[in-house]
């Protein structure tokens, strides 16, 4: 993923396209990033989930 295309908020499909990986691989990566507290799920939905790099976003909120 190029730095110019970094997004602080994304969904699984965007991750698949950016990294050119399959849906199962994207979902495993997302699960791992959540477990490491790197991203959080922000919709509370079962489908169409959106994830955020909350530590990054919190840098801009005081």
Q: What confidence tier does 2 reach under pLDDT thresholds 50, 70, 90?
A: low
Q: Is the pLDDT of residue 41 over 90?
A: yes
Mean pLDDT of 2-9: 69
Three-state SS across the chain?
A: CCHHHCCCEECHHHHHHHHCCCHHHHHHHHHHHHHCCCCEECCCCCCCCCEECHHHHHCCCC
pLDDT in tens, 21-36: 999 999 999 999 999 9
pTM value > 0.85: no
CATH of domain 3-58: 1.10.10
Domain ranges for the chain, please list them: 3-58
């Amino acid at each position: 993923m190029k730095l110019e295309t970094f997004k602080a908020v994304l969904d699984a499909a965007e991750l698949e396209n950016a990294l050119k990986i399959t849906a199962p691989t994207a979902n495993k990566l997302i699960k791992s990033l959540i477990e490491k507290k790197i991203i959080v799920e922000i919709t509370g939905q079962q489908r169409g989930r959106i994830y955020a790099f909350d530590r990054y976003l919190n840098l801009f909120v005081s």
